[in-house]
Amino acid sequence: MTPETFPPTGPTGLLRGIVVKSTGSWYVVRGLATGELYRCRLRGKFKIKGLKASNPLAVGDIVDFTVEAQGEGAAVISHITPRRNYIVRRSVHKTGHVHIVAANIDQALLVVTLVSPATSFGFIDRFLVTAEAYHIPVTLLFNKTDLYDADGFEYQAEIAGMYASLGYPSRTCAATTGEGVPEIDHLLDGKVSLLAGHSGVGKSTLINALVPDLDLKTAEISEFSDKGVHTTTFAEMLVVRPGTFIIDTPGIKELGLVEIPPTELAGYFPEFRALLGQCRYHNCQHTHEPGCAVRDAVDQGRIALPRYDSYISMLAGEDNRH
């Protein structure tokens, strides 16, 4: 698509679209009615209450815009609809500010691997805690199952069972062979899904398997974004089919960093949450206190030890992002 295919000049009503890419100064917006791409800029200043963000708009934002003239950057965004949710990371440009990675996410799919490389529980749990804080449901995707031996499948089932009991479903797949991919495609249907996972787990391979004509679609979007800007760290929304979107987050391993006060952390572990209020001390942090219901549950095997370990290391502010 070229700028010549923009709708004609003239007094037009507001169009509504979804931001599919943001490079800071320009936004690529897909019209919801037409499916067409528009290169947009923002009118005036947008402020979101209580949020010091280095970028006013992010992928997934629903915006209203007008096409004011023909040609490059002709569309102007005048309104953003309230966000259902959003994820942030610390801004690399402005201290004390956050960078909004994406907004209005229906679900996150966390790609993990047990071999080549092995994703750590610390990484998984940190992601899950953050997703709890953002109210974003997560499904774990165990990729590279073609590399498993018999023990591998048994181990995977054990871990999947543990997370399922906490309310986190999972799927298995092998992105390179296509095994399990139709089931994941089904999972995406009619939703905005964020794909995450650390480097090397197979996110790009999976996106290739899920998004038809990926190269063409990516090229089409980059035609509309700022060419001078290095964009590989910006999230990008891809259309799997109309109404079904996937957000690729290159260079973003985790769901941002919300500052969770230590006293609230246990509340983001579903299996701890059920026990809160049963500890002897109301301000129990579940580390060393006598009469701790959480530690009792760990001792009795009702809480999995890796989960408790993740809690302790997050409480200590340890960086287990690998």
Ligand X SMILES: Nc1nc2c(ncn2[C@@H]2O[C@H](COP(=O)(O)OP(=O)(O)O)[C@@H](O)[C@H]2O)c(=O)[nH]1
Residue of the chain from 147, 216, 305, 312 that contacts ligand X (CB under 6 A): 147
Helices (H) and strands (E) in the chain, counts: 9, 13
Quick check: 112 binds ligand X (CB under 6 A)? no
Nearer to Zn ion, 45 or 282 (CB): 282
**Cβ within 8 Å of residue 96, ≥6 positions away:** 52
**By CB under 6 A, is residue 312 in contact with ligand X?**
no
The entry of Mg ion, Zn ion, ligand X, none that residue 286 binds, CB within 5 to 8 Å by partner kind: Zn ion
Whether 144 has a binding-site annotation, put simply, is yes
The token pair at 138 is 């997560």
To the nearest whole angstrom, how small is the minimum distance from the Cβ of residue 201 to ligand X?
Answer: 5
Least distance between ligand X and beta carbon 136 (Å): 19
Is residue 225 near ligand X by the rule CB under 6 A? Answer: no
62 CB-side CA count, 13 A: 11
Separation between Cα atoms, residue 257 and residue 262, nearest integer Å: 14
In the bound complex, what is the minimum distance in angstroms from residue 251's beta carbon to Mg ion? Answer: 9
CB 41 within 8 A of CB 57: no
* Residue 160: strand, helix, or coil: helix
The answer to whether 203 is a known ligand-binding residue is: yes
Residues that contact Mg ion, how many (by CB under 5 A): 2
Cβ of residue 287: shortest distance to Zn ion, in angstroms? Answer: 8
The only residue of 201, 221, 247, 266 in contact with ligand X, by rule CB under 6 A? 201
Helix, strand, coil fractions of the chain, as percent rounded to 5: 30, 25, 50
CA angle 296, 299, 302 (to 5 degrees): 80
Residue 294 interacts with Zn ion (CB under 5 A): yes or no: yes
Residue with tokens 């995406």: 188
Distance between CA atoms of residues 320 and 45, nearest Å: 37
Which residues are within 8 A (CB) of 95 and not within 5 positions of it... i.e. 6 or more apart?
none
Name the one range near Mg ion by CB under 5 A: 56-64, 126-134, 195-203, 217-225.
195-203
d(C-alpha 105, C-alpha 137), whole Å: 9
176 binds, among Mg ion, Zn ion, ligand X, none (CB under 5 to 8 A by kind): ligand X
Among positions 54, 205, 244, 313, the unique one binding ligand X when judged by CB under 6 A: 205
The answer to whether 309 and 319 have CB atoms below 8 angstroms apart is no
Interaction with Zn ion in 269-288: which residues (CB under 5 A)?
279, 284, 286
* Contact footprint for ligand X (CB under 6 A): 143-144, 146-147, 174-176, 197, 199-205
* Contact footprint for Mg ion (CB under 5 A): 203-204
* Contact footprint for Zn ion (CB under 5 A): 279, 284, 286, 292, 294
